Every structure is written in structure tokens, then in C-alpha cells.
Amino acid sequence: MYISTSRAASPPSAEAPATPVVPAAPVARGRRRVWAGVNSNVLALGSVSLVTDISSEMITAVLPMYVIFTLGLSPLQFGALNGMYFGVTALVRVAGGHAADRWQRRKLVAGSGYALSALCKLGLLAAGSSVPGLGAVIAADRTGKGLRTGPRDALISLSSTPETLGRSFGAHRALDTTGAFLGPLAAFALLLATPGRYDTVFVASFCIAAFALVILALFVRDRRQPLEQHERATVRDVLGLLLRPGFRRVGIGVLLLGAVTLSDSFVYLLIQQRLDISAEYFPLLPLGTTGVYLLMAMPLGQLADRLGRLRVFVAGYGALLLAYLALFGPVGGPLLVITTLVLHGLFYAATDGVLMAAIGPMVPEHLRAAGMSLIQTGQSLATLASSLLFGAAWSVWGLHTALAVALTVLAVAIAAALVTLPLREESPA
């Protein structure tokens, strides 16, 4: 799985000697065309993310039922716990990226994040019904995610050529999303076999996360560049990225769009409210988004390499606008569900990895992890603020009016982003 069918497309590294070309069988030509230019290190990182996401999404799928129906927590208490998913990640993401860049230990920092999240699966068992204990475990899990995201994306960028960044991130996100698709199915299969035994899910999730660590240790190569002392990343250097015109303009555009993007939970709740979907089918809605994301991440990454990554990124928000229009419009029934989830999946496929592919060339190699983390942190905080505001608008004005406002401000933000983002300066491959 990790043997590339073409010459490794990454810069030379003291720890990564060139890998010889392995001839591929004629029957693999179609597959080779799809994955051509994707470095074996990217595939290894994608495999780690695939296995990790199976573990993480097993917990995500059952956690609401566990804390509300088994432990008896109120929805308000669960909402407070769930809010940590955004807040804690944002706080540590830039710190993790900065540490990885400064000490040139991107694999080590990413591995620390993966290990911490793995241990938290057993921490759920130890916390029992203690709300503070659960809060501490969730905070630690999100700390792990924040630590690993920037170094991981930096390794993907540094393991790719400038011409194949979109394809590389698309390949990684496709593998990552495969895990997100399989995780809930695995959790529900376990609960079907052992009804009510959430501890079985937690232990299985830990074992799967531990396996991801083994893959990371054995197959992922670090990317380290010899640096002079004056080149070591400092906090001032990281913040200085905001003074770079291209990077700053992308950051402003991302904040504008993130500030008008509803969280996934609200999208699924809007579908549920429109169609009055029963509770037992509600957990299946995210699988629709995930399935489309899985299928389209690689093709849209390749398209971004050809047409321009920021152009595809903005087009993704156009798909999100159409999804909101579908929720606002008169069409209902299965057509509404299919249309909304397809558009929602296209939005993620066109924006998540594509944005990181666009940011990579704008940031010096010794600041790559911190620079990517800085953009991701701003995006996460903006989306959190948007969801809080939409929830307040829904409570005060009602669903229909709140959605109309969301549609309007998203359309305005897309128009503003087209002016703000350095689209003309971007050179498609």
C-alpha cells in the first residue's frame, strides 16, 4: 500500500533516501493514473488517519447516547462537553505546529497527539459518570487532535511537489474520510452484537487507535531540514506570516467564509426539522456527507491542481450555498435529503484539503506546520462563532428567518472572498 508506482515526488531529506521505481502490472494502470504523483509518505499518513478516524468516529457516534441515555446527563451538559471539540483544539493547534517547526520534529509531535487521543478512549471508562472527568477526557482528546493536525498537514505538504499538492491532500482526505465512514458503522455493529455495552466500543476504539500508532511509527518518514540557529521558528516568525500579503488575504477570506458557515450538526438538524426524521435514523445523515466527500476528495484535489486551489475552494462554498438554498426551498422528501447531503459533501471535498494545498506554497518550510495551524485555528473559531450566532437567531427569530439570514450572509461572504482572496496571483499547474 505504501509503495509508490512513480518516483517519489518529495524534496531530498536526510531521513528519506530516494525510493526506486517499482514497475506496476498492466492491470493496475487505471489505479496508477488515479494515484500517480502521490508520495508513499502521503499514503502512509492517510492510512494513519484512516485507522484513527475509525477509532474516533466510533466514539463520536455513540457519545451522545452514552452520556444522555446511559449516564443521564442533560442536553445542556452534553452541549457544554461538545463545545470543547472546537475550543480546546483551537487553543493548542498553533502551539503544536510551532513546536513541530521549531524543533524539526513533526512526526514526533503528531505522534504525541495521536497517542494522547488513543489513551483518552480508555479515559472514558475511567471517568465513569463524572461530568468533570468526562470534560477532562474530552479536553485531552481534543488537545491530541490539535497537536497532530498541523504537523501532519505539514508532512503532507513537504512530501509533495508544488504541482501535486491538491492531489496529495485529496488522497489523504479520501483515506481519512474512509475511516470517518467506517467508524459509526463499526460502533453500531458492536452495539448490535453487545447491546448497551459501551465499554466494548471504548476498548475496541483504543485498540484501533493503537494500531494507527504502529503504522505511524513504521511507515511515516519525518521531513527535517538542516537549519541555522537564526532560522529556527519563533512566535514572532509565526505571527509575521500575517504580514505577508498573500497569506493575510487568504486568512481574511477564510475568516469571512468561516464566520457564516454552520456546523455540521445544524445542517443535519435542519434536515431533521424539515422532514421530521425519526431519532433512530438521524445518526445516518452524516454518512451521506461522508460518502460524497470520500468519493470526490481526490478528483477535486486533482482539479484544484489544474484550475487553481483557491478557485476550487471558493466553488466549494458555492456548493454549500446551494445546500442552504435546498433547505430553504419548497422541495422535500428524499430529494431534499439527497440534494443537501451531496452538496454538503462536495463542499468538504472542495475546501478541506484544498485549502491546505493552497496555503503550503505561501509558507516557508521551517514555518509550514505553524502557518497551516494558524489558518485552521482561525477557521475553527470563526465557524464556532457562526454556529453560536445561528443558534441564537433560531431561538429568537425562528428557523425560517434564521436560515434566510444565513443564506444572505453566506452569499455576501462568497462575493467578498472573491475580491479578498489572491485568485489572480495563484498559478494553476
pLDDT in tens, 282-300: 767 888 999 999 999 999 9
Which pLDDT score, from 0 to 100, does residue 78 have? 62
Asked if residues 188 and 59 have their Cβ atoms less than 8 Å apart, the reply is no
Which pLDDT score, from 0 to 100, does residue 422 have? 92
Which pLDDT score, from 0 to 100, does residue 75 have? 56
Query: For residues 54 and 211, what is the distance between their CA atoms, to the nearest angstrom?
Result: 11
Helix-helix angle 333-359:131-158, to 10 degrees: 60
Q: What angle do CA 121, 125, 127 make, to 5 degrees?
A: 105
Phi then psi for 230, rounded to 5 degrees?
-70, -10
| Distant-in-sequence, close-in-space partners of 121: CB < 8 Å, separation ≥ 6 | 55, 59, 202, 203, 205, 206, 209
Q: How far apart are the first and last CA of the chain?
A: 27
What residue has cell string 500517480?
36
Asked if residues 150 and 99 have their Cβ atoms less than 8 Å apart, the reply is no
Q: Burial letters for 294-305: b for 16+ Cβ neighbours within 10 Å, e otherwise?
A: bbbbbebbbbbb
Which pLDDT score, from 0 to 100, does residue 18 have? 39
Q: What single letter denotes the amino acid at residue 40?
A: S
126 dihedral zone (left: phi>0; alpha: psi -120 to 50; beta): alpha
Phi then psi for 393, rounded to 5 degrees?
-65, -40
Query: For residues 318 and 414, what is the distance between their CA atoms, to the nearest angstrom?
Result: 8
Helix (H/G/I), strand (E/B), else coil: 260: coil
7 dihedral zone (left: phi>0; alpha: psi -120 to 50; beta): beta
C-alpha cell at 25: 502490472
Show the DSSP H helices in 131-258 as ranges: 131-158, 165-193, 198-219, 235-240, 245-258
**pTM strictly above 0.85:** no
**Closest listed residue to residue 100, CA positions, set 363, 391, 278, 392:** 363
Contacts for 185-190: CB closer than 8 Å, 24+ residues apart: 185/287, 186/54, 186/58, 187/57, 187/58, 187/59, 187/61, 187/62, 188/61, 188/283, 190/58
Q: State the chain's maximal CA–CA distance in angstroms.
A: 63
Q: Compute the residue count for the chain.
A: 429
Asked if residues 52 and 224 have their Cβ atoms less than 8 Å apart, the reply is no
Q: What angle do CA 218, 220, 223 make, to 5 degrees?
A: 135
Which pLDDT score, from 0 to 100, does residue 223 have? 84
**Closest listed residue to residue 428, CA positions, set 349, 319, 254, 312:** 312
How many helices and strands, by DSSP H and E, does the chain display? 15, 0
Question: Low-confidence residues of the chain, pLDDT below 50?
Answer: 1-28, 30, 230
The Cβ-side half-sphere exposure at 429, using a 13 Å CA radius, reads 17
C-alpha cell at 310: 483557491
Query: For residues 146 and 113, what is the distance between their CA atoms, to the nearest angstrom?
Result: 7
Helix (H) or strand (E) holding 266: helix 264-275
